[in-house]
Amino acid sequence: MSDTVALISTGEELLSGETIDTNSAWLAAELWAHGLRVSRMVTCGDSLDDLIWAVGEAAGASSRVICTGGLGPTVDDRTAEAVAAWAGVACVESEEALEQIQARYAKIGREVSAANRKQAMLPSGAEVLPNRWGSAPGFAVTHAGTTVVCLPGVPVEMRNIFNETVAPRWSPELRTSLHRFRCFGVAESRLQAVLGAVDLGGAELGFRAHIPEVQVKLRFPSDTPEEDRVAVLSRVAAVLGESVYSIDGGDLAETTVSQLLARGETVALAESCTAGMVSAWLGEVPGVSAALLESVVTYANEAKERLGVPKDTIENNGAVSEPVARAMAQSVRARAGSTWGVSITGIAGPGGGTPSKPVGTVHCAVSGPSSSVHRVAVIPGTRQQVRKRAAGMALALLLGELR
């Protein structure tokens, strides 16, 4: 169990479905990248008995446990009490934790209330883990050979404390090497099939499907010779071919912005069924203002006409068609004076489809300095999945032209 970690997530909102447990997913990915495996994930509510059971269950599966949530100031935050019961100790007020809480509140000009003082009640002998991003200190308790680390449930606090305090002490002395191939347009099952015949040496293969992409992950043991690692990466890149848009780099938006900035070029967008999803995605990338000039949402036919799409083009071909997609890309590029124009028009569903244009039909086009390209696909999934995959399709098409 020395190279494994068990995870506990607490909160009634996780059991009711009000909140999705993103903390466990993030921790699992980070731990895997650090050469550690997750042996178990346990989710429980706020009942003290359930929490005590969860700690015991996780501790039985691994000598390292991370628990997220239940460190707040309210009566239903019982993680410290549960860990104390598991360790057979009492909860006492930690002077170090209280000083941290007081410093946090003094910084914002507030007094520490009795409720907030509760956050300093930790299992006797607990190690306090500094939280510079919130009010609840983390803590760690070791008992019977198992260390339980308790972190706030707020993702930004949890992630920062993990990176600053937990990861450095738990990372294997000899770090593994992790590489990610980010792919678009190929299903996870297909990627697994094509990689099945590839000699991966001693590398461990993993996948992560996250709409609109699939990541192929290769983790090499610390003692892998450099020439062997490079050879495996070359073989995998050759087999995956054009489906790979980034190796150990950012997502589609980050990669696109990086390419545009490197070339000193700009883009404008005209979106229909994605309703600004691509521009919002690009907008998350720092420095995008130097590349993204303009974005318009043209849902109605009249809006497409105002953009510059000829009325007869829409009437003769329909709003969801190659001629309209090409006209949208050309028109928004001309209007913005950008290097590139990108467009999306489609039927996201769940209704609106026809036999010739079923739900999920999406047309994308890119207009550039010397030519334009077009792609059409019938995208499966829910309305949200169709829209996310359409956004990825548009950026992948632009990336192909940039390269």
- Residues for the chain: how many in total? 403
Report phi then psi at 129, rounded to 5.
-105, 115
Same domain membership, residue 308 and residue 393: yes
* 9 vs 151: CA distance, rounded Å: 10
Same domain membership, residue 327 and residue 198: no
pLDDT-based confidence at residue 201 (cuts at 50, 70, 90): very high
Query: Among residues 198, 216, 247, which one ends one of the domains?
Result: 247
pLDDT-based confidence at residue 32 (cuts at 50, 70, 90): confident
Return the axis-axis angle of helices 226-240 and 188-195, rounded to nearest 10°: 130
Pair of tokens at residue 36:
């550690």
Same domain membership, residue 58 and residue 137: yes
Asked if residue 174 has pLDDT above 60, the reply is no
Query: Among residues 200, 223, 247, which one ends one of the domains?
Result: 247
Same domain membership, residue 267 and residue 242: no
At 386-399, the pLDDT tens digits run 999 999 999 999 99
Same domain membership, residue 349 and residue 310: yes
Question: What are the CA-CA distances from residue 384 to residues 45, 277, 353, 358, 379 (Å)?
Answer: 29, 10, 16, 16, 11
Same domain membership, residue 55 and residue 139: yes
Q: Kind of pairing, strands 138-143 and 267-271?
A: unpaired
Q: Kind of pairing, strands 146-151 and 361-367?
A: unpaired
Looking from the CA of 112 toward its CB, the CA atoms found within 13 Å total 19
Question: What's the pLDDT score for residue 265?
Answer: 98
Instruction: Measure the N-to-C terminal CA separation of the chain; round to a whole number of Å.
Output: 46
Return the axis-axis angle of helices 383-402 and 252-263, rounded to nearest 10°: 30
Report phi then psi at 151, rounded to 5.
-125, 155
Asked if residue 176 has pLDDT above 90, the reply is no
Instruction: Tell me what the mean pLDDT of segment 197-224 comes to.
Output: 92
Pair of tokens at residue 23:
């903390």
Q: Which residue has the tokens 């990372």?
A: 171
At 118-173, the pLDDT tens digits run 999 999 999 999 999 998 999 999 999 999 999 999 999 999 999 999 998 887 65
What is the domain extent for residue 194?
177-247
Instruction: Tell me what the mean pLDDT of segment 340-353 comes to.
Output: 96
Amino acid 326 reads R
> What is the pLDDT of the chain when averaged over all its residues?
94
Question: What's the pLDDT score for residue 2?
Answer: 63
Question: What's the pLDDT score for residue 223?
Answer: 87
Q: What is the largest CA-CA distance in the chain?
A: 79
CA 269 to centroid of chain Cα atoms: 24
- Collapsing DSSP to helix, strand or coil, 271 comes out as strand
Better-scored residue on pLDDT, 29 or 391: 391
* E-only strand ranges, 272-337: 292-297
Same domain membership, residue 25 and residue 166: yes
* 276 vs 267: CA distance, rounded Å: 14
Question: What CATH number does the domain containing 193 carry?
Answer: 3.30.70.2860
% of the chain exceeding 70 in pLDDT: 99
Percentages helix, strand, coil for the chain (3-state, rounded to 5) are: 45, 25, 30
At 232-266, the pLDDT tens digits run 999 999 999 999 999 999 999 999 999 999 999 99
Q: Kind of pairing, strands 267-271 and 244-247?
A: unpaired
User: What is the CA angle 17-274-307, rounded to 5?
Assistant: 155
CA 304 to centroid of chain Cα atoms: 33
Q: Are 374 and 363 in contact (CB under 8 A)?
A: yes
Q: Are 352 and 386 in contact (CB under 8 A)?
A: no
Question: What's the pLDDT score for residue 295?
Answer: 98
Same domain membership, residue 257 and residue 239: no
Return the axis-axis angle of helices 79-87 and 48-61, rounded to nearest 10°: 60
Query: Among residues 221, 247, 273, which one ends one of the domains?
Result: 247
- Collapsing DSSP to helix, strand or coil, 65 comes out as strand
CB count within 10 Å of CB 23 equals 26
Instruction: Tell me what the mean pLDDT of segment 311-339 comes to.
Output: 98
Question: What's the pLDDT score for residue 177?
Answer: 86
At 47-57, the pLDDT tens digits run 999 999 999 99
Total structural domains in the chain? 3
Same domain membership, residue 142 and residue 78: yes
Question: What's the pLDDT score for residue 173?
Answer: 56
Same domain membership, residue 239 and residue 129: no
Question: What's the pLDDT score for residue 3?
Answer: 82
